[in-house]
Amino acid sequence: MRAVDREILRLAVPAFLALVAEPMFLLSDAAIVGHLGTPELAGLGVAAVILQTVVGLCVFLAYGTTASVARHLGAGDLRAALAQGIDGMWLAVIIGAIATVGGIALTPSLVAAFDTGSEVAQHAESYLAIAFLGTIPLLLMLATTGVLRGLQDTRTPLVVAVAGNGLNIALNFLLVYGFDLGIAGSAIGSVVAQVLSAAWLVLVVVRAARRHDAPLSPDRAGIKAAAHAAVALVIRTLALRACLLVGTYAVTRVGAEATDVNVATHQIAITLWSFLAFALDAIAIAAQALTGRALGSGDVEGTRRLTRRMIQWGWGSGIVAGLVLAAVSPVIGILFTSDPEVRELLVPVLLVAALGQPVAGVVFVLDGVLIGAGDGAFLAWAGLAVLAAYAPAALFAATLPHGLVAVWVAMSVVFMGARGLLLSWRARGDRWLVTGATLAR
């Protein structure tokens, strides 16, 4: 068990620090923009949900690449592992180019779908139209990070994430306040930081590929195979992101007099929730890499041991995260806004979120285990089932007294609870334990 713990910590600790640093892009944006005013913060909230959904749908570039690269590594074929990673990077460029053009063209329509009012919509459009220019570097960051995780290297993404976040904060302050560019300056600073971070990671992977004679040119068959394997993960991610979108939409339906306050409060809460989710996801990252490597080498019993231990780690980490969130809930609002209504409403919302953290810790771990095993088909069906349960629950919760808090209760109980039940049931079986260098079933 000590050996298992050392393996988990070797990957999870740097992944934890990197994943904590990554959402600092949004945390720093929220803190800086929040002091411009409540409408600006609400506009950032809408824009962030849209951008996170677009980029989040492509998280398979990291998850799928981690699993496939780790399997080849476990099977002892490093050249094939790197070739698989290069194919994922080219796929990121192709998808990123399409998303950039489409996102910029559809920005007004995407913002209008939230029906938040003209002032909030104007700020959301200003941020989003610029932020979409960072789509290609963001997707390249996902793909290259997946390659390195699959190679059991979580330290390099940590260094890049910390440096990129530091640059992002500095640029945001300079452009928002120094050059008085407002919310647009925040978007520009983030894009510049994303471009430089992506370039750094690409250089690391390219150097490794050259050392092991892996091809760098686009391989049509390899890119097509990577895209085909990603379909199930896209469906899974789309369903889960749809749940978050439904939650935000439900919040805009709460009350007729304080929509800006509700949306701004929800934005701070979802940003903090995402921060903790990324932190808890560190063990899931270790689960992806270790599960893929173990199954690639044919070690089924070792995979079972890893899974049991990582569940324990996930549960304990979730308890710690919940206690921390509950403790800071009365005071953390001051970092994001000067609006007393938002600060007051934020406290009960964060307390509800804190209660759901232990379950979230287990959910993220099991999600990582099954992704590392390549069990995408089940994850897709599970995601759709969770969406079917959560969407009506969230919309109904918005009609209740204290509707914002009720929406967060639905998120903790229905969204995370249903995921926990489905993933736990799957993990108890054997169908996901497929061994070998490929994910073919």
Helix or strand (DSSP H, E) at 387: helix 376-397
Q: Predicted confidence band at 441 (pLDDT cuts at 50, 70, 90)?
A: very low
Tens digits of residue pLDDT in 326-351:
999 898 888 887 788 888 889 999 99
Cβ neighbours for 430, distance < 8 A, ≥ 6 positions apart? none
Q: Distance between alpha carbon 262 and the CA centroid of its chain, in Å?
A: 23
Tens digits of residue pLDDT in 273-325:
887 887 788 888 989 999 989 898 888 888 898 898 999 999 999 999 999 99
User: Which DSSP category does 134 fall into?
Assistant: G
- Mean per-residue pLDDT for 430-435? 88
Residues 367, 220: contact at Cβ < 8 Å?
no
Amino acid (1-letter code) at residue 279: A
Tokens of 408: 């967060």
What percentage of the chain reaches a pLDDT higher than 70?
96
pLDDT at 357 over 90: yes
* Helix, coil or strand: residue 415: helix
The dihedral formed by the CA atoms of 426, 12, 225 and 208, expressed in degrees to the nearest 10:
-160
pLDDT at 128 over 80: yes
Most confident of the ranges 74-83, 197-206, 220-229, 280-289: 197-206
Task: Choose among 94, 100, 164, 96: nearest CA to 131.
Answer: 100
User: Which DSSP category does 429 fall into?
Assistant: S
The predicted pLDDT at position 257 comes to: 57
pLDDT at 429 over 50: yes
- pTM of the predicted structure, to 2 decimals: 0.80
- Mean per-residue pLDDT for 239-245? 87
Burial class (CB in 10 A: 0-12, 13-18, 19+), 56: middle
Residue 253: how many CB atoms within 10 A of its CB?
16
